[in-house]
Amino acid sequence: SAVISQKPSRDICQRGTSLTIQCQVDSQVTMMFWYRQQPGQSLTLIATANQGSEATYESGFVIDKFPISRPNLTFSTLTVSNMSPEDSSIYLCSVDGGPAYTFGSGTRLTVV
């Protein structure tokens, strides 16, 4: 199955700033997915990123707040913009690694 390298693993950021999270996959994949896991909560899909097209966002998530890039079939970034303490979460990228999604190790974000 695919191996995902996600970074940073954790960060503490000031409110009002932005953080870009990177995911590198060791094989080419069509779709990459970005999830958010708020403290003590389940995983919620933020958006689906296809190479060469704009990401598709789930209800409650907007491109201005969570811009996503997908420049090629092995790489994607998620930016958390204009952060507030409510953005403190674990952010995970995921790909179809067959037979199920493979997840990155996550980025634990704390906004102060």
Partner 1 sequence: AQKVTQAQTEISVVEKEDVTLDCVYETRDTTYYLFWYKQPPSGELVFLIRRNSFDEQNEISGRYSWNFQKSTSSFNFTITASQVVDSAVYFCALSEGGSGTYKYIFGTGTRLKVLA
Burial zone of 10 (CB within 10 Å; 0-12 exposed, 13-18 middle, 19+ buried):
exposed
| Per rule CB under 8 A, count of chain residues that contact partner 1 | 22
The 3-state DSSP class for residue 17 equals coil
- Restricting to residues 41-60, which ones interact with partner 1 according to CB under 8 A? 41-45, 48
Least separation in angstroms between residue 16's CB and partner 1 is 26
Please name the residues in contact with 103: beta carbons below 8 A apart, sequence gap of 6 or more: 4, 35, 92, 93, 94
Residue 27 interacting with partner 1 (CB under 8 A): no
Q: In the complex with partner 1, which residue's Cβ is closer, 8 or 16?
A: 8
The residues of the shown chain that bind partner 1, judged by CB under 8 A, are: 1, 31, 41-45, 48, 90, 92, 96-106, 108
